[in-house]
Structure 1
Amino acid sequence: MDVLQMCRPFHIPMSVPYLLRHARKHAFNGGRSACIAGLAHTASNSELHSLQHARKRQGQRRDKAHFRMAAANSTGETSGKVFFFDIDNCLYPKSTGIYREMGRKIHAYFKRLGFPDEEATELHHRYYRTYGLALRGLVKHHDVDPMAYDREVDQALPLEQFLKPDPELRTMLETMQGVKKWAFTNAYEVHAGRVLKALGIEDQFAGLTFCDYATPNFPCKPEEVYYEQVMQAAGVTDPSKCYLVDDAAANIDMAKKLGWTAVHVADDVSAEPKHGDFQISHIHELQEVLPEFWPDGNVN
């Protein structure tokens, strides 16, 4: 991709090669965005300065979600319904080991900041409970560079050791009908894209909404504003047409508060209190609780 594309907010096809996607820089002007696909080192110093300045100005804006669009394999997207899919610990189970490895890397990051073991563990969990992401607490209270954190934690995960293509998941997504599929994550886009590619489903979503760690005060689930942003990005205004599958109870609770239909991928489906409209133990069970989205289901 070697052209500038003006868009609001920016859209980048999910089929663009990973290197170009990751090298992209954003520039905002009057609510419009200049989406530049190319290698960062090709920009002049003055251009980079302008981009950095624009990023700082845009940092205070929280009315637009960061997402990229794609032509997804889907059938019958005529109902106006949108199904939002969380990614980590949702499209793959915690048992893969990524959850544990991520926890180790986050803990190690806290320790590199000078915190002893016990305090690092306490802060990690407190920030996750309070802000939805440990990173949000690190940025807010410890002036951590979120992009450096992402490189040292999320991007350092050897995903190829934990994930492989999931043909059953791919078939489930391919055969969904009457709904737009949209990936909705608290991760940065690099990690999100790596996971979707590793699972072999990167072409199955009409778009991806991610946390832009480069933006100061970026929103994330379960903040209401982030749900409003993803609805706008996906082009849906009626909450009753929104569906979410997610492993985090707090994210499910917010979806329900907003009037969405929510499916909780729970560690224990029998545990109380229950969250959401349905509880499943694995993403493969989604068809069992919402069969109307598959050809053999009972379409309402």
Structure 2
Amino acid sequence: MSKPTRESSSDGSGQAADESGKIVQADVPDSMMSLLTALRATGGSDTDQAPSESGVPKAASPARLPVGSSLDPDRIDVWLFDLDNTLYPASCRLFEQIDRAMGRYVADLLSLEPAEARALQKQYFREHGTTLRGLMTHHDIDPHDYLSVVHDIDHTPVQPNPRLDAALNRLPGRKLVFTNGSVPHAEAVLQRLGVTRHFEAIFDIVASDFVPKPDPAPYRELLVRYGIDPTRAFFAEDSARNLVPAHALGMATLYVQHGADWNVDPHEGADYIHHRCEDLADWLEGVVGADRA
């Protein structure tokens, strides 16, 4: 089974290196490349407009339909998926292992009691987007060492998901993983799910230079690197705040709800959430139809 491309560097020209180091030229029209180059250079987009009353920028002419409407898959060219608790169900409790490992890392690093370490870990998550970013900012840690420690977990709770595999197979367009985790962790999850073959690439926290979602910078970098028109892109996430930049850029968004303490349900009028689900495979089957063969 082939693996998604581990692309963690690019010169901004629409080229990126595959696993062998060979440069692959993305099929990006000149007009789109001009837009994406400007997007990276300015930190803005052609969809930037005045904020709405909620403070969230309004996007222009996105691929999405009104909230509650069905999504036409033919209007989407690129499907972006968060990894943890999105591609696999939160009931696997995989992230609980990662969460405990992060707490132990903070406790060992700073010689803190477990309760103190957990409080600081959550503070850094709230203030910096990830615990890792907070530790890098305040304690100058080696991010690669941190990732190797916190993702050294048992992935066997993630079970193969034939329904998700079939739905992804029927979904037209390119598919990428966009995660604040690492490539090795994502590869292990995709392999356990049995869906590796569907994904062109994994854009991880290393590829984003350790700047996490929801900072807009990794979203812009992702668009540039893979030649993605955000108004023809879709993003599924279980963290509502990570959907705000996607909406602002013009992407269609799906909020995956599962009830964990960080999976806070935004108010129904949140205009950056266009679709909601509790199970990704169920929702995708509703979009492309279930394969009952």
Corresponding residue to 2:84 among 59, 82, 88? 88
Corresponding residue to 1:109 among 105, 119, 124? 105
Supply the distance in 1 between the matched residues of 2:19 and 2:100 (Cα, whole angstroms). Answer: 35
Pick closer, same or farther for the CA change 1:78–1:285 going to 2, 3 Å.
closer
Which residue in the other structure is 1:176 paired with?
171
Supply the distance in 2 between the matched residues of 1:218 and 1:98 (Cα, whole angstroms). Answer: 22
Is 2:211 the partner of 1:219? yes
Supply the distance in 2 between the matched residues of 1:101 and 1:206 (Cα, whole angstroms). Answer: 27
1:218 Cα deviation (Å)?
2.4
Instruction: Specify the code of the residue in structure 2 equivalent to 1:105.
Output: A
Corresponding residue to 1:205 among 188, 199, 202? 199
Which residue in the other structure is 1:10 paired with?
none
Which residue in the other structure is 1:231 paired with?
223
Supply the distance in 1 between the matched residues of 2:175 and 2:167 (Cα, whole angstroms). Answer: 12
Instruction: Specify the code of the residue in structure 2 equivalent to 1:233.
Output: R
What's the TM-score, normalizing by structure 1?
Answer: 0.68
Contact 2:9–2:16, Cα closer than 8 Å, also in 1: yes
Contact 2:102–2:121, Cα closer than 8 Å, also in 1: yes
Is 2:146 the partner of 1:146? no
Contact 2:246–2:253, Cα closer than 8 Å, also in 1: yes
Supply the distance in 2 between the matched residues of 1:28 and 1:287 (Cα, whole angstroms). Answer: 31
Is 2:192 the partner of 1:195? no
Contact 1:176–1:295, Cα closer than 8 Å, also in 2: no
Deviation sequence 1:54-81 (CA, Å, 0-9, x none)? xxxxxxxx98xxxxxxxxxxxxx98662
Instruction: Specify the code of the residue in structure 1 equivalent to 2:101.
Output: K
Which residue in the other structure is 1:163 paired with?
158
Structure 1: gaps (5+ residues) = 1-12, 39-61, 64-76
Pick closer, same or farther for the CA change 1:258–1:152 going to 2, 3 Å.
same
Which residue in the other structure is 1:281 paired with?
278
Supply the distance in 1 between the matched residues of 2:125 and 2:10 (Cα, whole angstroms). Answer: 30
Pick closer, same or farther for the CA change 1:167–1:256 going to 2, 3 Å.
same
Instruction: Specify the code of the residue in structure 2 equivalent to 1:14.
Output: K
Which residue in the other structure is 1:245 paired with?
236
Secondary structure of the corresponding residue to residue 159 of structure 1: coil
Instruction: Specify the code of the residue in structure 2 equivalent to 1:136.
Output: R
Which residue in the other structure is 2:122 paired with?
125
Secondary structure of the corresponding residue to residue 80 of structure 2: strand
Contact 1:183–1:208, Cα closer than 8 Å, also in 2: yes
Corresponding residue to 1:134 among 131, 135, 139? 131
Secondary structure of the corresponding residue to residue 208 of structure 1: strand
Supply the distance in 2 between the matched residues of 1:173 and 1:242 (Cα, whole angstroms). Answer: 15
Q: Give the structure with the higher percent strand.
A: 1
Equivalent residue pairs, number: 232
Supply the distance in 1 between the matched residues of 2:171 and 2:235 (Cα, whole angstroms). Answer: 14
Pick closer, same or farther for the CA change 1:96–1:78 going to 2, 3 Å.
closer
Structure 2: gaps (5+ residues) = 22-39, 42-72
Which residue in the other structure is 2:246 paired with?
255
Supply the distance in 2 between the matched residues of 1:193 and 1:95 (Cα, whole angstroms). Answer: 19
Pick closer, same or farther for the CA change 1:34–1:250 going to 2, 3 Å.
closer
Q: Percentage identity across aligned positions?
A: 27
Pick closer, same or farther for the CA change 1:143–1:258 going to 2, 3 Å.
same
Deviation sequence 1:96-115 (CA, Å, 0-9, x none)? 02121111111111110112
Secondary structure of the corresponding residue to residue 220 of structure 1: coil
Which has the higher relative contact order, 1 or 2, with Cα contacts under 8 A spaced 6 or more apart? 2
Contact 1:182–1:234, Cα closer than 8 Å, also in 2: no
CA-based RMSD: 3.2
1:286 Cα deviation (Å)?
2.1
Pick closer, same or farther for the CA change 1:295–1:159 going to 2, 3 Å.
closer
1:151 Cα deviation (Å)?
1.5
